[in-house]
Structure 1
Amino acid sequence: MSWSVYIITNKPNGVLYIGETKQLKRRIYQHINKAHPGTFSARYNLDKLVYVEHHKSEGDAKKRELQLKKWNRAWKIELIEKSNPEWKDLYQNL
């Protein structure tokens, strides 16, 4: 199983959350169902997976997550729109 870096949102051009996990489908399910009340993603109702990239190791995924978190908003939106221009929810395709 590979590590994943992902971006979730509540709507196109909405609030963005970047995370990393080894169990992507499970983690997104947790976001959708607000399994951890009070978290940033629960507070802003972030339940749409709009971007995913896979990495071979936890270290690579963590490094990429931290890199993306430092990017400005315009760069993050451009990254999403390159692979998902319609901001479709990718969760159903996992």
Structure 2
Amino acid sequence: MKTKGTHNYNVYILTNKAKTVLYTGVTNNLKDRLYFHNNPLPFLKTFTAKYKCFYLIYYENFFDIEDAIKREKQIKGKSRAKKEKTISDFNPEWKFLNDTI
């Protein structure tokens, strides 16, 4: 078992190529999670597969899962405009960050 403070969690936002759809999630392994979003199982009808949300545009790191889940819910509860501001403050050009992880 890992000691408190040694865990690594990420809250992240994905978008589609046209940047018209946003998906917010939380994971303990962002690189693997991006792989699974980009390579969904055949016939899997997930939100990200349906709307082709494969492009990472925002992420935050947390050491405590409760904090990460709280932040995920906070972001999900925001309006589209507030989500866009959160993304723009972190990634002003909305560059796809998949290759930086």
Count of aligned residue pairs for this structure pair: 94
1:63 is the counterpart of 2:63: no
The unaligned stretches of length 5 or more in structure 2 are 1-6
Give, in whole Å, the separation in 1 of the partners of 2:11 and 2:41: 19
| Contact in 2 for aligned 1:12/1:87 (Cα 8 Å) | no
Superposed CA offset, 1:44-81 (max 9, x none): 00010000000111111001001110000000001111
1:4 is the counterpart of 2:5: no
The one-letter code sitting in structure 2 at the alignment partner of 1:57 is D
Within-5 A mapping of 1:80-91: 80-91=87-98
The one-letter code sitting in structure 1 at the alignment partner of 2:37 is H
User: What does residue 72 of structure 1 align with?
Assistant: 79
| Contact in 2 for aligned 1:28/1:47 (Cα 8 Å) | yes
The one-letter code sitting in structure 1 at the alignment partner of 2:22 is L
The more displaced of 3-12 and 46-55 is 3-12
Q: Shift of the alpha carbon at 1:14?
A: 1.2
User: What does residue 49 of structure 2 align with?
Assistant: 42
The one-letter code sitting in structure 2 at the alignment partner of 1:34 is P
The one-letter code sitting in structure 1 at the alignment partner of 2:65 is E
How large is the RMSD of aligned CA atoms in angstroms? 1.4
State the TM-score, normalized to the length of structure 1.
0.93
User: What does residue 31 of structure 1 align with?
Assistant: 37
Give, in whole Å, the separation in 1 of the partners of 2:69 and 2:17: 25
The unaligned stretches of length 5 or more in structure 1 are none
State the TM-score, normalized to the length of structure 2.
0.87
* Structure 1 segments (4+ residues) deviating >6 Å: none
Give, in whole Å, the separation in 2 of the partners of 1:86 and 1:35: 31
